[in-house]
Amino acid sequence: MHKYYQNSNSCVNNNVERPYTCEVCNMAFIRQDHLIIHQRTHNGECPYNCEVCNKAFRDQSTFIKHQRTYIGVCPCTCEARNNAFIQHSHLIRHKQVHSGERPYACEVCNKSYSHKHHLIKQNTYIVVSALIPVICVMRHPG
């Protein structure tokens, strides 16, 4: 869930006032501009258009990130290997390679991963049977 909105039906901390509410789905927002961007998911409005590929975007920040792919601007650089990234979040994820941090673990077998998508990609699932104990089965690609 994004940091600036909340579904009125969720159990998320309500300490922050969220005075702007979507009339369609009851999501509540701290700022009115966040509500406007959210409403575009319902009405389909995409006011930011790429002149190169004609792709349309709901918000300016996503549009700017997209434009960076064409102009080659990579403002986020890894000092250890000189790798450059378009988005800061990609740099943070990359830095986990250097730190050895593996925060995503299977709840059954405790195998851990540096990125959440790696855990999901492994298609970890639990087999439960009356005759077989709970086991974690890992499907490895290939």
Domain extent at residue 39:
5-43
Nearest to 18 by CA among 5, 9, 2, 37: 5
Higher pLDDT, residue 15 or 27: 27
> What total number of domains does the chain contain?
2
Higher pLDDT, residue 92 or 121: 92
Q: Which pLDDT tens digit goes with each residue over 29-40?
A: 999 999 999 999
Nearest to 24 by CA among 47, 3, 1, 43: 43
Evaluate whether residue 33 is within a structural domain. Answer: yes
CATH number at residue 15: 3.30.160
Q: Which pLDDT tens digit goes with each residue over 79-116?
A: 777 777 767 777 777 777 778 888 888 777 778 887 77
Evaluate whether residue 108 is within a structural domain. Answer: yes
Per the prediction, the chain carries an average pLDDT of 74
Higher pLDDT, residue 12 or 17: 17
Evaluate whether residue 112 is within a structural domain. Answer: yes
Evaluate whether residue 115 is within a structural domain. Answer: yes
Query: Where does residue 5 rank: exposed (0-12), middle (13-18), buried (19+ CB within 10 A)?
Result: buried
